[in-house]
Amino acid sequence: MRLGSARAGGGDSDRSQALDDKDAKRIEAHLRRTFANKGLALKARPKQKDSAEVYIGEEFIGVVYQDEDEDGSFMFEMAILSEDLDA
């Protein structure tokens, strides 16, 4: 997984610098421990280089961004849809 660079300029890409491979592996390991799920994986986003998609198996569950205010920190964003709550 290679995550490239991004600069400020508009849209989601001005969150901060890119996630590099080392950070992506550290974040993936942390999320696997936190959620006790070895099937959790980070995948590079096709059009956004400053973030990675989070999957459990084949199911997309959220996005990780580098925190622009905290050097070395990251944000995990996950939407919970009403239809997911009905299951």
pLDDT in tens, 14-27: 444 678 889 999 99
Residue 43 lies in a domain: yes
Residue 2 lies in a domain: no
Residue 35 lies in a domain: yes
- Structural domain of 29: 11-85
51 backbone φψ class: left, alpha, beta (φ>0; ψ -120 to 50):
beta
Say which residues have a Cβ less than 8 Å from residue 40's Cβ, sequence separation at least 6: 28, 31, 32, 54, 55, 56
Cα separation of 40 and 14, whole Å?
26
Q: What is the pLDDT of residue 10?
A: 40
Residue 45 lies in a domain: yes
**Average pLDDT of the chain?**
81
Q: What is the pLDDT of residue 79?
A: 93
pTM: 0.75
pLDDT band at 40 (very low <50, low <70, confident <90, very high): very high
Residue 1 lies in a domain: no
Structural domains counted in the chain: 1
